[in-house]
Amino acid sequence: MTTVWRADDQPPAARMEYISHAVSNSLVPFELRPKDLTGFRCEIRTADIGALRFVDISAPDSEAVRGARLIRRSDPELCTVHVQLRGHPVVEQGDRQAVVHPGDLAFVDLSRPTRVAGSAHRQVSVMFPRALLPLSRGDTRDLVGVRLPGRRGCSALVAGLVRQMADNLDEYAGAARIGAAVLDLTTATLAAWTGRDALAPAQQRHVLLLRIEAFIEQHLGDPNLTPGMVAAAHHISPRYLYRLFEPRATSVAGLIRARRLERCRRDLIDPANAWVPASAIGSRWGFPDPARFSRVFRVEYGVPPGEYRRLSLPTD
């Protein structure tokens, strides 16, 4: 279940107290210092996904400070990874500060004084207990107050997954398995930035599979997405890729096909796509040949795409 707090839902005089309460309940207590108190607007959306809490914040030009006094009052030993979606705020912790850009990540230890300030911005904080992070306090000290560019490697995968999940929080809320997968991928990303191998071999294989699944999800619309392309993107041989999938019921090619078909199915029954030809939806998700799309869709769902849409969409 997604919880939403909107400052606009309150009278202007009550907005600051309302949003401060929302921040305390969804994250931890912060002192909020908006630049314009009279026109203060903010929206917070949260959902618990396994052990993770996703907190999607659209904030005005403001400053949020968590000092020693607030930490003494409430220190549940949590940390977050911020994924910046819009704006360029400064994240300050320890003796360092970093300007984060859209797509970047920033690690924040909520047991340490923290400051986030900047013009209007949107970020998603993925919050989890510090005990779930297999890094030492010394390692995390190397991560705070540092911009983690989100356009390469594991960081790009984390940023892409979090962005996708933030746009569909209701769909993922309560999905413990997905939360565990995001946590594993986030852990691997942070470990890589510290230069340490914090994961056992079995965990490394698991995280590699998560990266592969995330890569597939992000490239479903590319008709050239094949097992060979997946293997090359992860610097492994196709043979090793097939071995990774051997314990699973579905091969890598089967996963690509199944995820494409599911995306097509969802688009076909979306009223917003009612006037988009079924063949165009197939092409959107990696089936450029209408005949082949119709054939594989029928095998999976029992009827051709057009018939499936007709049976699923409400009629006047």
> pLDDT tens-digit profile of 10-36?
888 888 899 999 999 889 999 999 888
Across 233-241, average pLDDT: 90
Q: Is the pLDDT of residue 172 over 80?
A: no
Long-range CB pairs of 233-236, under 8 A, 24+ apart, other chains included: 234/208, 236/208
Q: Which of 274, 300, 272 is nearest to 287 (CA)?
A: 300
Return the CATH number of the domain spanning residue range 3-195: 2.60.120.10
Per domain, the residue ranges of the chain are: 3-195, 258-312
Quick one: angle between helices 252-268 and 305-312, nearest 10? 50
Write the single-letter amino acid at 178: I
The pair phi, psi for residue 263, each rounded to 5°, is: -65, -40
Domain 258-312 classified CATH 3.40.1350? no
Categorize the per-residue pLDDT at 231 as very low, low, confident or very high, splitting at 50, 70 and 90.
very high
The per-residue pLDDT for range 75-122, each reduced to its tens digit, is: 888 999 999 999 999 999 988 999 999 999 999 999 999 999 999 999
Q: Is the pLDDT of residue 202 over 70?
A: no
Contacts of 306 (CB under 8 A, 6+ apart): 278
Q: If you average pLDDT over each of 72-76, 165-169, 280-284, 309-313, which comes out highest?
A: 280-284
H or E element, residue 244: helix 238-245
pTM over 0.75: no
Mean pLDDT of the residues in the chain? 87
For residue 186, the model assigns a pLDDT of 86
